[in-house]
Amino acid sequence: MTQKGGGEPRAVIEVQNLRKTYGPAVAVDGATFEVRAGEVFGLLGPNGAGKTTTIHCISGLLKPASGRVRVAGHDVVREGKAARASIGVAPQELALYEELSAAENLAYWGGVQGLRGTQLKQRIEETLELFGLQDRAREAVKRFSGGMKRRLNFACAVVHGPKVLLLDEPTVGVDPQSRVRLLETVRQQARQGVCVLYTTHYMEEAETLCDRLAIMDNGRLIAQGTLGDLRAVLGERELLTLTGTWEERRIREALDRMEELEVLHFGPEELTLAATDASGRLVRILNALGAAGAEIRGATVRQPSLESLFIRLTGKELRE
């Protein structure tokens, strides 16, 4: 792992005030973050939050409207070719030649990234083994299962040994066995010093895999840090979601009288509260709301997590 003066690993991806617009629509709005060598950085957010657009700007597929993106010390706009030579991308959708075999796909994608001769052959063999595809290496990809295709899609991104790995929701539609294998491979790449930028909307995946995280919504980064940093934002409070019908004014008055309780979202039929020891105080809260005329149909208590943090920050569910 490369160190900056022997201290913290240097930033391999540097994103400063990144902004990308499509006409009047703002897809990414002033995103700033860094990802260091050997680090897995998770970019979390619901569909349409701007995660994929951010990845596309970093990979050079899209040109930012403003801001600056550097990869391995190269500006992705001005020194695009040099920047792209350091990158391996596993796109969200499969990007493979299905008529070709796994080995031929790896040979092609490794070749266009600059590998040749013995080095290319060696890397193909290593990568096939790493992803458990050596037995089907000569078979046309179109005969592979979905999970195998996913693994090969990922393998094509790492065959040339990139410094930066951009993984855009690589586990979507993957069976549990393949998912475990993929996540282990991501960790392995990071251990080898690869800088990994990982987008997902699976919170549990991000919690177990990522060293640092950024939460994105409506094109903006709304929080970033380690998992511990982010949990601290929420504190020890639990998340209580209630469904039912009520009169808003009377319920708000009832809630105002309770201590250590914050209203995160107040809808006509759904109410989200952050409360210390919500599970222990649940009966008291329900009684108070019942006394204020509410008809409660359901109650859910969640422990502090990235999911609850997301709700805390945006007032909405991650999968909305």
Partner 1 sequence: MRIALLCARKDLLRMARDPVALGVWLGMPVLVAVALLALFGREAPRPHGVLFIADQDGTSLSSLVARAYTQGELGQMIAARAVSVEEGRRRMQAGEGSALLVIPKGFAIAVFGGGRATLELVTNPSQAILPGMLEEITEILADGAWYVQQLVGEDLRRMSELSGRPPDTMIAGFSLRIAHLIDRVGGYVDPPVIDVVRDAPPSEAAGTVPVTSLMFPSMVSMAVLFLAYGYAGDIWREKLAGTLRRTVVTPVSMNQWLGGKLLALGALFGCVGLAALAVAKFALNAAAHHGALVVCWVVVAGLGMHLLMLLLQIAAGDIRTAHVTANITVMTLAMLGGSFFPFEMMPAWLARIGRWTPNGWALVKLRGMLDGSADATGIAAAFGIAAAVSGLLFWWVSRRLRNRFVL
Binding site for partner 1 (CB under 8 A): 59-62, 81-82, 84-85, 87, 89, 91, 93-100, 104, 108-109, 111-114, 116, 140, 156
Residue burial 288-309, b: 16+ Cβ < 10 Å; e: rest: bbeebebeeeebebbebbbbbb
* Closest to 49 measured CA to CA, from 221, 216, 222: 216
CB of 176 to partner 1, least distance (A): 24
How far apart are the C-alpha atoms of 246 and 225, rounded to whole Å?
38
CB of 156 to partner 1, least distance (A): 8
CB of 281 to partner 1, least distance (A): 51
CB of 143 to partner 1, least distance (A): 12
Query: Which is closer to partner 1, CB of 109 or CB of 198?
Result: 109
CB of 152 to partner 1, least distance (A): 12
The strands making up 25-36's β-sheet, listed across from edge to edge, are 25-36, 11-22, 66-71, 74-75
Query: Which is closer to partner 1, CB of 111 or CB of 193?
Result: 111
CB 83, CB 71: distance < 8 Å: yes
Query: Which is closer to partner 1, CB of 76 or CB of 223?
Result: 76
CB of 96 to partner 1, least distance (A): 7
CB of 116 to partner 1, least distance (A): 7
Give how far the C-alpha of residue 312 lies from the chain's centroid of Cα atoms, to the nearest Å: 18
How far apart are the C-alpha atoms of 300 and 282, rounded to whole Å?
10
How far apart are the C-alpha atoms of 188 and 172, rounded to whole Å?
20
Q: Which DSSP symbol is given to 140?
A: B
CA of 309: how far to CAs of 73, 215, 224, 227, in Å? 33, 9, 11, 11
For residue 10, give every residue at least 6 positions away whose Cβ sits within 8 Å of its Cβ, in sequence order, or none: 2, 3, 4, 36, 37
Query: Which is closer to partner 1, CB of 95 or CB of 233?
Result: 95
What single letter denotes the amino acid at residue 305? S
Q: How many residues does the chain have?
A: 320
